[in-house]
Amino acid sequence: MVLNESTENYLETILVLNHRLGNVRSVDIANEMNFKKPSVSVAMKHLRENGYITVSAEGYIRLTDAGLEVAERIYERHTILSNWLVMLGVDPRVAAEDACKIEHDVSIESFEAIKRHINATR
């Protein structure tokens, strides 16, 4: 499965919800992302078929090692980029929205350079 922005957003959302709620169900993802439950169900089917999540008999969604790796990478990018933009004077709400757009497209090289720059200025 080719990782696209939508896939990465679902995995990141599962990670965030897991930290916040402990157990994650499709309805939690739908509520968090403001999507309809059938759309989330289709996405979860694809994530499950491609080995990024498992779903228990009770409907609880868990990230596999592969899913967790992607989710943590995207979440790190989001957090660092958002915090960096706020440090530059961007409104926190705008910074979070912009970070969400940037996190999917920035190259590994550019992101690592941003991290080095942030760490050097601390």
Sequential pLDDT tens for the chain (122 residues): 668 899 999 999 999 999 999 999 999 999 999 999 999 999 999 999 999 999 999 999 999 999 999 999 999 999 999 999 999 999 999 999 999 999 989 999 999 999 999 888 87
Alpha-carbon distance of 56 to 64, in angstroms, equals 12
Q: What would the pLDDT profile of 84-94 be if each residue is shown by its tens digit?
A: 999 999 999 99
| Residues in Cβ contact with 52 at an 8 Å cutoff, skipping those fewer than 6 apart | 1, 7, 11, 63, 64, 66, 67, 70
Q: Say yes or no: domain 76-120 is CATH 3.40.50.920.
A: no
Give the number of C-alpha atoms closer than 13 A to the C-alpha of residue 18, restricted to the C-beta side: 17
Annotated domain spans of the chain? 5-69, 76-120
CATH of domain 5-69: 1.10.10.10
Residue 71 structure tokens: 């989710």
